[in-house]
Structure formats: structure tokens, C-alpha cells
Homo-oligomer: A and B are copies of this chain.
Amino acid sequence: MNALFKALNDPTRRAILERLRNGPASAGAIAEQFQFSAPTISHHLDLLRQAELVTSQKQGQFVVYTLNMTVFDELMGWLIQFKS
């Protein structure tokens, strides 16, 4: 839960998640959309992976990142506590 909220507490990381709604993408393809350096984006992707918000698979020289929607359920569950 800590890693989850930590990962979400950054606008760039949230934008990456929104980008991945359109489907999986390589680290480079993701990085292109932002003004930050590749290492910075790589680090953001690492935090998203630690929170299990994304998974990654190596495809040749590329590393493809995919949204993991499972974790959103967990968050939703936490939120629903407050609605009742």
C-alpha cells in the first residue's frame, strides 16, 4: 500500500500510467513523450513496477511495459471503506 501511494504521488508517473492505457509501450517510446532524460523515466518505471502498477517484459533490445490493473482493485477497495 505504501509503494502504491508513493508511486501515484508524482504527476509524471501518473501520466505514464495514462499513456499505458492505450496499450503496452517500450521504455524508449514512453520516454519520448516527456521532457525528462531516459534515466529519469527508467527510474519512474522502476517505482511503478515496485508498486506492481506495471509489469515489464524484455523483447529483444526493448523492455515493454504493460499496465497491471489488478492493483487498481486494491486501491478501489481501500477507497470504498470510506464510502460506507
Contacts and interface: CB of A to CB of B under 8 A. Distances in A.
A10 B9 CA distance: 10
Interface string A13-50: 01001100100000000000000000000000000000
Identify whether the interface residues of A are mostly helix, strand, loop, or mixed.
Answer: helix
Contact of A9 (B6, B18, B67): B6
Contact of A72 (B18, B72, B79): B79
A80 to B, nearest CB: 8
Interface of A: 1-2, 5-6, 8-11, 14, 17-18, 21, 67, 69, 72, 75-76, 79, 81-83
Contacts of A6: 9
